[in-house]
Structure 1
């Protein structure tokens, strides 16, 4: 019978801890990416609204409008009066919207990176008519 101090047991225990940490890191990374995409979406909306960036598909515009209207609408699949559970449908709508926006968000991210690399502090002033 092996006790807990044998090398095999120790290695198995170490791999288990490593696996748990890796899972936690991947969940945190998903959450960080989600929050970054939301922030980028707000920046895209601002630049689109101001006329500074127009390379956006009509589907993206419609998706953002529909998601926003759903979020502010008092009519939900699951009422927001129920704490936490009531927000699940809103989160699902946001996630679906971000999935639809993915291509346009990547183009917009590239646009912002190129403007920053060119050394322009306020990139939006360069692209106005």
Structure 2
């Protein structure tokens, strides 16, 4: 007898644009439903505690492996004067709630503000400091 892991409760009708109903199709990637509200809070807390660029990249990889979430973090198109200049983008994914799509980048920005050396490493990894 195997017990199924808890799945995320559906959002109230009209409150979200996650299109969760499309996950009921056969062959749909339902890994995102494993991100319950409790697990989401744990994820956000973990993202706020990153301590290096390698740690952030490892979390990006684990998000993709475990939940199918693809996240891209890079310097924005303009000049980077604050953490808002770093572009954190989640690829569109069926089942990923609107609030979660906003909360993940916010948690990463809070971590970068607390540990600016991670942002400097990120900028350096994209060759923004090559002329200095």
Alignment TM-score, normalising by the size of structure 2: 0.26
Q: Which has the larger radius of gyration?
A: 1
Structure number having the greater strand percentage: 2
- The structure richer in helix per residue is 1
**TM-score, reference length from structure 1:** 0.26
